[in-house]
Amino acid sequence: MHELLEECTVHGLDSFGREACKAACHAALEFVRQARREGKLEMGVDEAFWQEVRRRLEVVPQLQLGPAINATGVVLHTNLGRAPWPEEAIAAAVRASGAALCEIDRLSGKRGRRDAAVSQLLAQVTGAEAGLPVNNNAATVLLAVSALARGRKVVVARSELVEIGGSYRMPEVIAAAGATMVEVGCTNRVHAKDFAQALQDPAVSMVLRVHPSNYRLQGFVHEVPMATLAELCQQAGVPLVYDLGSGVLVGQDLAGLEQEHPVRHALQEGCDLVTFSGDKLLGGPQAGLIVGAAALVERLRRNMLTRCLRLDKTILAALEATLSIHALGGEAALQRIPALRRLSLSLEELKQRAENLAAKIQSLGGRCQAQVLACAGRVGSGASPTEDLPRYGVCLQHAQAGSEEIAGALRRATPPIFARVQEEGVLLDLRTMADKDVDFLLDFLQNDLDGLL
């Protein structure tokens, strides 16, 4: 081992430190032993050994959390990290990763508020009096209930007692925040009189409206218009909080978003507080965003949970950059925020991209075949759960492999490619693939696919 450690200097590895080199050499020796057990007797302390040592020392390539290619057609794919960040947000996070103007005023040198810039932008882009960011939208509801209704009662319609991914259940969130839930109406129908009766109880200190997220009620249904509910709450002196979920700021006229409720409209209809996500239709990093009446936002800000739920400086920087793009107007947001740009692609553009990709796959001359298919995708992450996104994709087939085998090989690429598996082949959706993703796919199909099947 002493000799190997001396050799690390020759190979330019001493900058990693002696202990790290020792651990990497131990792992590389086991790599050699395993190769010899498998009959590869020529394996020794050679170039392959030192490549393995270097691989062990270079941390980033070994990380489990890494890039992936989304070819599924789900624009906001929760399992693939939801919204891809704008370039400006990525650059802002990198800039803030060292010493940063986080909680200090540059003029006075005194302590400042870390979310000041983001809070100001939130108010600006939504038309609210004030804003407050925390670490995700689930946290916004927990914080709002805790700050406004701990030890008291919260009124919720039975049709909105949702459970979303990861067993996040609204009744349990309210209980965790220390409040008592009052259910009104029936599963399919709730009326203004149901809320009016509940609001007669002086122990009620909040009405919570909840976006249905991943489902829709249809048929014999009724819900109270937001403006009507806001008026009832105002008469009772009780705040109306709307957990909006996806949070549309711009692009409500895009395909698939017609039924989404824009943040600004919710405020205009009389909601006192509106909460929504940063990594869905806002198109930025994970965050929970609260906007509304300044006095109520300040009550939330002073709550002990706010510190527990606060954002890291790099996420704040990325969020500030994303909101700054929104502040430039809807056209800038649609062009520069990837999630919104993908939702704004026309059918003609998608068909042209699909035809180009299919032709290039065919021209590779291998055992892969490709054909253009009309299909349907989704917005994802609870937004417009019943609305299809019309689109075009490329169905990939292989002369000697089935759909599951092809999909498995694509996932073993570096970075992995995630697509939709169908009986007739693997469907690659062009709405969620960037140009660089297409280039990588073509190179993989030509050089690596057959070796992984």
- Rounded Cα distance between 352 and 108, Å, is 56
Please tell me the distance from the alpha carbon of residue 122 to that of residue 319, in angstroms, as a whole number: 10
Q: Compute the mean pLDDT over every residue in the chain, rounded to the nearest whole number.
A: 91
| Residue ranges of domains in the chain | 2-62, 69-77+344-452, 86-336
Report which residue type is found at 411.
R
Residue 232: pLDDT above 70? yes
Q: Which of 22-26, 122-126, 245-249, 286-290 has the lowest mean pLDDT?
A: 245-249
369: its two tokens: 């075949």
Give the β-pairing of 273-277 and 240-245.
parallel
Is residue 314 within 8 A of residue 96, CB to CB? The reply is: yes
Average pLDDT value for residue range 203-211 = 96
Nearest 10 degrees: Cα torsion 280, 281, 283, 289 = -70
Mean pLDDT across 35-60: 83
CA 315, 318, 321 angle in degrees (round to 5)?
150
C-alpha distance across the termini of the chain, in Å: 39
Residue 38's Cβ-side half-sphere holds a number of Cα atoms within 13 Å equal to 8
Q: Is the pLDDT of residue 263 over 80?
A: yes
Cα(36)–Cα(49) distance, integer angstroms:
13
pLDDT digit string (tens) for 398-438?
988 899 999 999 999 989 999 999 878 999 999 999 999 99
The answer to whether the beta carbons of residues 124 and 328 sit under 8 Å apart is no
- State how far the alpha carbon of 208 is from the alpha carbons of 134, 182, 276, 400, 434, in Å: 19, 10, 14, 56, 39
Which pLDDT score, from 0 to 100, does residue 377 have? 83
Question: Is the separation of the CB atoms in 339 and 140 below 8 Å?
Answer: no
Alpha carbons 172 and 178: distance in angstroms, whole number: 10
Q: Is the pLDDT of residue 385 over 70?
A: no
69-77+344-452 matches 86-336 in fold: no
Neighbours of 88 (CB within 10 A): 18
CATH number of 69-77+344-452: 3.90.1150.180
pLDDT at residue 55 above 80? yes
367-383 confidence digits (pLDDT tens): 889 999 988 888 887 77
Average pLDDT (213-234) is: 89
Kindly state the average pLDDT of the residues 16-26: 91
What integer is the mean pLDDT of 71-90? Answer: 94
Q: Which of 67-76, 301-310, 381-390 has the lowest mean pLDDT?
A: 381-390
| CB-based burial, 24-45: b 16+ in 10 Å, e otherwise | bbeebbebbeebeeeeeeebee
Q: Give the contacts of 388 (CB within 8 A, at least 6 positions apart).
A: 256, 376, 377, 378
Q: Are strands 69-71 and 417-422 parallel, antiparallel or unpaired?
A: parallel
- Give the residue-averaged pLDDT of 347-373: 92
Euclidean distance between CA atoms 324 and 339, whole angstroms: 16
* Reported confidence tier of residue 386, pLDDT bands at 50, 70, 90: low
Predicted confidence band at 31 (pLDDT cuts at 50, 70, 90)? confident
The larger pLDDT score, comparing residue 262 to residue 383, is at 262
CATH 3.20.20.70 fits 86-336, yes or no: no
Statement: residue 240 has pLDDT above 90: yes
